[in-house]
Amino acid sequence: MICDVPAEAATITESPPSSAPAPGVGLWPRVAFTAARGFCWGFAVCFSLRGLYLFGQFFGTLEWLINYKRRRRFARRLRQLWGEKLTAGQRLRQSRRFFMRSRCDKIFYLILDKLPREKVLARFHVRGGELMDRAMERGRGCFVAMSHHGAQHLSAMLMALRGYRVAGVRDRNEGGVRRYVRTLHDRRHPELGAMRVLFADAYPRDIYRCFRENYALGAALDAQQPRGERKRTVRVKLFGQERDFLVGTLQIALRCGAAIVQGFVISQKNFHYRLDLLGPLADGSEVTESPQTLGSVMQAYADNIERYVRQYPCHVSRV
């Protein structure tokens, strides 16, 4: 998802993997999103992107003051992860940062297609890109294990804008804003045709094909809702508690010999974003999916989540 695919590996010898069509949104949500998008873009034209970012922080603070139910949910989430290690004042500060960050992320996502490509890419930074370089040079693809931490939905779109061949696995019931923005990008950025969106409840043959054709494929493995009896999970320890994480896509990556890295998207000031790549959790040299391999990879994945949540509590996105 990060580096250029070598020319010899980029040749498609079969029909390209099918991508889920961008589902539309209803009339009134579309009107509301269009109005909000127009206002944000007009504000940016008049006061610059930095001014829009400051407005997003101000608006997020108002939401924090008014939306006490969501504020309580975030505080409850922090207690689940941290126990009583955070004081009441620290929880309040982190919840306010959460509201400001999430509001600014939504604003940037809403106007992303209207910004010049060079300006967008100048605001996106990558750490650990050499991990992706080595993985893609092998020609077996790369699996980027994401999590519900930060604006993960931005990473694949920004990589596709750079011309990289990426794919993502996600739930079918994605939010209205994402559906709306995706339809805009499908029309305005034909280069995003290189980005494939696959649904988690679909048949896995397209995932196999993506790895065979040297795609970088990302998916979040930390889903906690039950997905049916056929969805295999592995139990890990996270914040002192046992959790069951999905491993279906990970199993496919191991079968295909794809390297496995872990990614975190960090929101920074003035609409700058950083993608941290960690690993490799598995280098793909051994094509195996033994219980020992799955357990060690998933526990390393959980340990990294714990480390990043402790470092960036306001980036928790499952609230």
Question: In sequence order, which residues have a C-beta less than 8 Å from that of residue 126 and are 6 or more positions away?
Answer: 2, 274, 275, 277
Question: Residue 121 in contact with residue 155, Cβ under 8 Å?
Answer: no
- Residue 170, classed as helix, strand or coil, is strand
pLDDT the model gives residue 105: 94
Q: What is the pLDDT of residue 28?
A: 82
Helix, strand, coil shares of the chain, percent, nearest 5, are 55, 20, 25
2-30 as b/e, with b when 16 or more CB fall inside 10 Å?
bbebeeebeeeeeeebebbebeebeeeee
Residue 239 within any structural domain of the chain = yes
pLDDT at residue 12, as a whole number: 30
- The residue whose two tokens read 């009441």 is 88
Give the separation between CA 287 and CA 211, rounded to whole angstroms.
Answer: 13
Which token pair is 42?
A: 């007009």
> Which residues lie below 8 Å from residue 122, measured CB to CB, with a gap of 6+?
none
Distance CA 71, CA 258 (A): 40
Answer yes or no: is 37 within a domain.
Answer: yes
Closest to 228 (Cα-Cα) out of 171, 272, 158, 279: 171
Question: Is residue 5, in this structure, part of any structural domain at all?
Answer: no
Whether cis (ω within 30° of 0) applies to the bond prior to 280 is: yes
Residue 20 lies in a domain: no
Name residue 52's amino acid: L
With CA atoms as reference, report the closest residue to 245 among 266, 221, 226, 263. Answer: 221
Grouping H, G, I as helix, E, B as strand and the rest as coil, residue 145 is: strand
Output the pLDDT for position 287. 65
Report the SS3 class of residue 118.
Answer: helix
Alpha-carbon distance 141 to 4, whole Å? 12
Find tokens 């922090």 and name the residue: 78
- Structural domain total, the chain: 1
Q: For the chain, how many helices (H) and strands (E)?
A: 11, 9
- Containing structural domain, residue 275: 26-315
Positions of the chain with pLDDT under 50: 2-18, 22
CA 210 to CA 165: how far, in whole Å?
9
Where are any strands of DSSP class E within the chain? 124-127, 142-146, 166-170, 195-199, 216-220, 233-238, 241-246, 259-268, 272-282
Q: Is residue 75 part of a domain?
A: yes
- From residue 157, alpha-carbon distances to 90, 108, 233 in Å are 33, 12, 28
97 is a domain residue: yes
Tell me the C-alpha distance between 183 and 208, whole Å: 26
Q: What is the CA radius of gyration of the chain?
A: 20
**Is residue 3 situated within a structural domain?**
no
Q: Is residue 205 a part of any domain in this protein?
A: yes
Strand, coil or helix: 151 = coil
Q: Do 150 and 104 contact (CB within 8 A), yes or no?
A: no
Place of tokens 């979040």: 220
